[in-house]
Amino acid sequence: MSFKEIAGWALDTIHCSSAQYADVRIVDFRQRKLSTRNGRIGVARTDESLGVGIRVLVDGAWGFAATQDLSRESVNQTSLRAVEFAASSSRGRSSRIELRAEQSACMSWSSPCQIDPLKTSIEENLDLLVRVERELLSVKGVTLAETNLLLRRHEQWFYNTEGSDVHQVRFTTGAGFVAYSFKGAEIQRRSFPNCFGGNYQNKGYEFIEELKLVENARPIAEQAVALHDAVQCPEGKMSLILGSSQLGLQIHESIGHAVELDRVLGSEANFAGTSFLAVDKLRALRYGSEILNVVADATEEQGTGMGTFAYDDEGVRAQCTPIIRNGIFTGFISSRETAHHMGEAGSNGAMRAESWNRVPIIRMTNISIVPGETPLTLDQLVADTDRGIFMDTNRSWSIDDKRYNFQFGCEIGWEIKGGKLGRIFKNPSYSGNTIEFWNSIDAVCSDDEWTMWGLPNCGKGQPRQELGTGHGAVPVRFKQVRIGSAYRGNTGRSA
């Protein structure tokens, strides 16, 4: 039995009801998670699931039902439940949902993949992690070494009452490690290639080779140990250069979540709160300085970010939406039912669901800074800075439920003095508010320094959904930033 035929059962059943619209998503999801900790396996887990989710619009209200039983009887019953839920919701609705028109699509797409990650052996995967750990623990002073590896294959078939028939396969690969050093009451750590378990992209196992984990293990471990003898990060207002990994998180927290239109409208608040933005700020608010340009880009032109796809989960093609243009706020990320709040003719394609048993909600795609047009490397940016601090790799963060006031701590900092990187600082941190901070940018590195960072488990919704987002970033410089307020004393613990 083909999945198209299974979807046909659902759509035929719904066609006999009073539904204005319906879509069917069949998802085959497979995942492998491995981790090690000081020579022992921490996690060795494989997950598989196959099921169908059915979403129905009746009298201006949504209904959703899902099942793992793909028999005809079960699919028909699930379709009727979705119609029943929608009809029940319509009786208590405060407003009527209207979908923006969308052209139907028929296509098949896959993310780049030279080596299917789930066709590699667990033995091969663990051998890599053990070799990384061995390098980390060979550095005197490293007391704890952790590694992580995540491999996924997400295959989806999408059909709707408008005639769409979309098949997509996303391969996800990522890995990373952390070296901890305990000395007295102080804990220092260094992560690679990023915190949150490493870096992740929608591509095959070849990405693991690109990360060069073994080659970077020893120098990163040495930095973790050296932080104990480093000077405490100074406090005060000064220039701040953020490395691209830290900037990626800054974008995620103070731009990405803030521009989700469901948060702005108050229909979503789980895990990250709402937003300081409002619809009337669109094309009116100066979000940042004139050199700040940010896009929400799900297209293949953005690379293999975790927010890349061909069509979102309500049949809208992937798009590149300018979020901030020359410092002016120019776009939310939206859905077919919220696009009219922006005065737009259609959605910009940001609806996604974690799996077959979750309803699609507005999610970040690849929210990325646009590199500067004038050639500028990190070395040149440092040379152009008389006094300041270069920080990279997140250690802690705190941001209010409007995505406005924030405080971030990083794993490591370097003093900049007279245009040169000097001694390292431990426990570096910075704080500010979103608008003031982004308006203080005065230099953005060019595309030679650009990196796509991937976060595989951004949480949103109730019940919770975890999805991958991407953030393309380059090193940038901010002027007169509040530095050094996140930590007190020499313990490295958050205040």
Rounded mean pLDDT, 310-329: 98
pLDDT band at 465 (very low <50, low <70, confident <90, very high): very high
Q: What is the overall mean pLDDT for the chain?
A: 95
Residue 491 has pLDDT above 80, yes or no: no
Write the DSSP assignment of 117-129 as a string of letters. Answer: GGGS-HHHHHHHH
Confidence of residue 492 (pLDDT cuts 50, 70, 90): very low
Cα Rg, the chain, nearest whole Å: 24
Token pair, residue 247, equals 């900037």
Please give the residue that has the higher pLDDT: either 1 or 247: 247
pTM: 0.95
Residue matched to tokens 């700040």: 292
Distance CA 416, CA 233 (A): 12
**Rounded Cα gap, residues 393 and 243, in angstroms:** 7
Q: What is the 3-state secondary structure (H, E, C) of 376-396?
A: CCHHHHHHCCCEEEEEEEEEE
Return all residues near 87 (Cβ < 8 A) that are at least 6 apart.
Answer: 18, 58, 59, 61, 63
| Measured distance CA(156)–CA(223) in Å, rounded | 43
- State residue 272's pLDDT score: 81
Q: How many CB atoms lie within 10 A of CB 416?
A: 24
- CA 54 vs CA 22, 159, 160, 473: distances in Å: 7, 10, 10, 37
pLDDT for residue 240 is more than 90: yes
Flag whether pLDDT at 304 surpasses 90: yes
pLDDT of residue 484: 87
Q: Where do the structural domains in the chain lie, given as residue ranges?
A: 3-229, 232-483
What's the rounded mean pLDDT across residues 234-256?
A: 97
pLDDT average, residue stretch 66-94 = 95
Among 142, 146, 144, residue whose Cα is nearest residue 225: 142
pLDDT band at 244 (very low <50, low <70, confident <90, very high): very high
Q: Residue 189 is which amino acid?
A: R
Residue 397's DSSP bridge partners are 408
**pLDDT range class, residue 490, cuts 50, 70, 90:** very low
Average pLDDT over residues 378-406: 97
CATH 3.30.2290.10 fits 3-229, yes or no: yes
